Copies of this chain bind each other. A is one copy, B any other.
Amino acid sequence: MAKQDMSEAEFDARHAEKMKKKKATRDKIMSTKTIEKGLLIVHAGKGKGKSTAGFGMIFRALGHGMKVAVVQFVKGRIERGERQAMERFSDLVTIKRMGEGFTWETQDRQRDIAAAHQAWDVAKELISSREYRIVLLDELNIVLRYDYIPLDDIVAFLRDEKPEDVHVIITGRNAKEELIEIADLVTEITQIKHPFRSGVKPQMGIEF
């Protein structure tokens, strides 16, 4: 029976039946999900919003009173909002800003490489300490894109040495295949439409 031939009440009844089935299916699926473990999460893709989504997870965890750590591999000018927001959770959050500025800002490869290694050492320490439920490695992918740290080292650590109960989130464009391979949750963020194209400038609260 098509929608137009039904009375409103019939349509409502059919809707209720459909939703009941949907709920039953969903409940059944969820009951099979029983494993709890620290995840390796990768936010990839070309769209803006990879870090935003990563920080969204961080704030949600902070809302639960979880301790979290953030390592910034690239010191951008875009993260002032997040940093200031995290200051309200100074009892729960540890922030390490290690990057020496974006590569096209510094134009100094050796300094970038040294900064990347320093940041990675700090990241490993924070993850291994098991003091933090989630560790966000912001813009790690960019460091890998320029081969500043051997990919094998990072994959080996995350796969073999990361404590079972720690979640690690990695953001940045051009995620390496090898990282996606070992990740539990991979989200791709793509821009379909961007205001830059219409000459709109980056605005506080949106881009930074």
Contacts and interface: CB of A to CB of B under 8 A. Distances in A.
Contacts of A39: 195, 200, 203, 206
Contact of A192 (B26, B30, B52, B186): B186
A6 B200 CA distance: 42
B191 A184 contact: no
Contacts of A189: 49, 53, 187-190
Nearest to A134: B205
Contacts of A82: 56, 59-60, 63
A49 B83 CA distance: 21
Given A106-B19, A107-B16, A81 B53 contact: no
A192 B205 contact: no
Contacts of A53: 49, 52-53, 56, 189
How many copies of this chain does one complex carry?
A: 2
Interface stretch (A85-93, A115-123, A151-159): A85-93
A35 interface: yes
A108 B203 CA distance: 42
A205 B133 contact: yes
Contacts of A185: 191, 193-195, 206
Given A47-B188, A60-B82, A200 B33 contact: yes
Contacts of A29: 196
Lowest 6 CB-CB distances: which A-B pairs, in order? A63-B85, A56-B56, A60-B81, A63-B84, A61-B205, A52-B56
17 contacts: A16-B108, A23-B104, A32-B199, A33-B200, A35-B198, A39-B206, A49-B53, A49-B189, A60-B85, A60-B208, A62-B81, A63-B82, A63-B84, A64-B81, A133-B205, A184-B198, A187-B189
Interface of A: 11-12, 15-16, 19-20, 22-23, 26, 29-30, 32-37, 39, 41, 43-45, 47-49, 51-57, 59-66, 80-89, 103-110, 133-134, 167, 180, 183-196, 198-206, 208
